[in-house]
Structure 1
Amino acid sequence: MNIEQLEHVAEAAKAGSLTKAADHLHVSLSAISQSISKLEKELGVQLFIRNRQGTALTAEGIRIMEKAEKVLTAIGELKEEANRCSDTLTGDLKIGMIPGPINLLIDMVSAYKTDYPNVKVEIYEMGPVKIAEGILNNDLDIGLVLTSHSFAVQNHELIAEKILEGKMVAGVHKQSPLAKLDRISPEQLFKETLVLYNDDYIKKFAYDTLSPYGPIDVLFTTNNTEAIKRAVQSGVAVTLGMDYSFRSRSPYPNETVIPIEIDGADKEALHLALIRRKDKVPSLKVKEFMRRIHRELR
């Protein structure tokens, strides 16, 4: 048994196909097939069921894969510890993030890259469901999502750590008559056309807050934050989002979209939370990034 065999098994289990696993690992199909067959022979158990639909772990394979993942994680930590001894970390750091918080992390990510230039940081803006799926599939290391008492992370395989408390606000153009208000009531907000980010919590908040007054006028829902920003800047719509999503950073202090507090929006505590796999020990590069998030945002 060797590390390469464990990596082949892990990739085949993740990809659900030996062909895809071979492509991802940049090896030949015969090489990965022989590697897995040799490991199965050595262990005396069949790890995979192979058919036209692809490759799936057997019951024995699932149990062995759980152990193999822990071994591969430990090997990765060992390599990173060796790197840290030489004052460097390497590898990829993949983060899933709902739109908004990234403007709070730009300086922190920049400082992290300065300290660890050999770590490739990749940030993906997406909805909370996709973030959770990415973490469970090991496509993402950590994620940043919204949680509340009524909208908590439900998956028992994930752990959530509260980072930053916030509240929902309305985003309006600075020339809008609404911009003169300190607060806006749900009844006033109901009269406006909305553009919404395609996020479960935001859509739930809009429905729970405004639907008592009648059908909600939504111009469109999208994952494109620039499209939302343009719609608000043109004056055709109002958007909803977390208050910290609208904080300006130098050198861009003159934002044209400004936040207005919504009556009743602070009844339920809403948090930005960091989520990760419960059964996976974070690597050193992930731990360092998490430490900085806790330090900067709390």
Structure 2
Amino acid sequence: MEFRQLKYFVGVAEAGSFTKAAAQLNVAQSALSLHVRQMEEGFGTQLLIRDRTGVTLTSAGSKLLNHARIILDQVSRAEQELTSKVKSPSGEVTIGIPSGAARVMVAELLAIAKERLPRVSLKIVEGMSGPVEEWMAAGRFNIAILYKTVERPGDAEVLASEEFCLVGPPDQPPFEETIRLADLHAYPLAVPMRVNNVRRSVADVVALHGCTLDVRFEVDSLSSIISMVMDGKAYSILTPSAIQREVCLGQIRIVRIVEPAITRTVVLAVNPKDERSVEVNAVRALITEVVHLLAESGKWPTILPEVASASRSRVRASG
């Protein structure tokens, strides 16, 4: 017995004739007759009594009609519920975000999500990049913002790329707009622990070019590192997103690192078990939109993937 056959049988029984049912269902009368006959053969009993005036139900036909109406109603309810969920996602989505990215994007994300996804409850877990990456690998989040090196972005969706800068008090050297990688050793640094992705990204580039750093403090707290820099106790190496607020207030100054620049890629990772989740995919799309809005408005000094790709193409063309 097929779902379509149940629908046709109910249509014929309620219309009282094959002719009327064929017109209402927009199906050939011969096809309706064939399906009902196949059902009767399958059940081994007559369901309809046919005569010149139309059809009437047998005792077995009446029983089947009752069951068929219930089945069709349940299917209709399921379709409505699933369609409604796609149009208006609902549920809980947990997002892991490193402290730097959280400072620049969480407020915007929550504001837009409240308007666009009112039935989705967002839970934000902020932490240093190392622990966030570990927690995501352990399956604690539905979605996570992670940092990867440009050479190894993995399978995650690339959101943007950022450059690291030397961060220091506004009244302390260097007073130039840029500083060479080889000259960073002159500044005492407060940086995250060695397991932190930021620390690894910087250390890899520094080691590759045979340079050294004067690491005085290892602190796994972004707010503490920023406070130390503001108090003139140390410098640090961070991305503009992490200290955008303090830079705007004149509490911290950033100096671009050059020859070479140190970059990282910001990616969006989704827990494999949630890849088909309606609410998770809705939030995923919203995060991508928020990153674009922040980058284009200048609130997040970062480079979007298409811009970076175009830039690389121009370099290859000129070469």
Q: Out of 207, 215, 218, which is 1:218 matched to?
A: 215
| Structure number with higher helix proportion | 2
Cross-structure match for 2:91:
91
Do residues 228 (structure 1) and 239 (structure 2) align?
Answer: no
Q: How far apart are the structure 2 equivalents of 1:243 and 1:138? A: 29
- 1:281 CA drift (Å): 2.0
Q: CA offsets per residue over residues 201-249 of structure 1, 9 Å max, x none?
A: 32234434556345x3323222211110110001111111223333349
AA partner of residue 191 (structure 1): A
Secondary structure of the corresponding residue to residue 120 of structure 1: strand
Pairing of 1:94-243 with structure 2 (within 5 A): 94-105=94-105, 106-153=107-154, 159-178=155-174, 180-198=175-193, 200-210=196-206, 212-214=210-212, 216-243=213-240
Name the SS of the counterpart of 1:110 in structure 2. Answer: helix
Query: What's the CA shift for 1:164?
Result: 0.8
2:289 to 284, 291, 295: 295
Q: 1:230 to 1:282 in 2, by over 3 A?
A: farther
TM-score normalized by the length of structure 1: 0.60
User: Whole-Å Cα distance in 1 between the matches of residues 229 and 140 of structure 2?
Assistant: 33
Q: What is the CA deviation profile of residues 93-125 of structure 1, one whole-angstrom value per residue up to 9, with x for unaligned ones?
A: 211112211233121222212333443322222
Cα deviations by residue, 1:234-269 (Å, 9 ceiling, x for unpaired): 1111111223333349xx931412321001343x75
Q: Across the two proteins, how many residue pairs are aligned to each other?
A: 209
Task: Say whether the 8 Å CA contact 2:153–2:267 is kept in structure 1.
Answer: no
| Counterpart secondary structure, 2:259 | coil
Shift of 1:165: 1.6
Residue equivalent to 2:301: none
- Structure 2 counterpart SS, 1:236: coil
> Does 2:281 align with 1:284?
no
Instruction: Give the distance between the partners of 2:238 and 2:81, measured in 1 at CA.
Output: 41
Where do 5+ consecutive residues of structure 2 fail to align? 1-79, 293-319
The 3-state SS of whatever aligns with 1:177 is coil
CA distance in 2, matches of 1:228, 1:79: 49
Aligned-partner SS, 1:247: helix
State the Cα distance separating 1:129 from its structure 2 match.
4.7
Which amino acid in structure 2 is aligned with residue 93 of structure 1?
Answer: V
Aligned partner of 2:253 in structure 1 is 258
Q: CA RMSD in A?
A: 2.9
Gaps of 5+ in 1: 1-77, 154-158
Q: What is the TM-score normalised by the length of structure 2?
A: 0.57
Secondary structure in 1 matching 2:99: coil
Q: Which residue of 1 aligns with 2:310?
A: none
SS state at 1:124 partner: strand
CA distance in 1, matches of 2:171, 2:82: 52
Q: Distance in 1 between matches of 2:128 and 2:118?
A: 28
SS of equivalent to 2:223:
helix
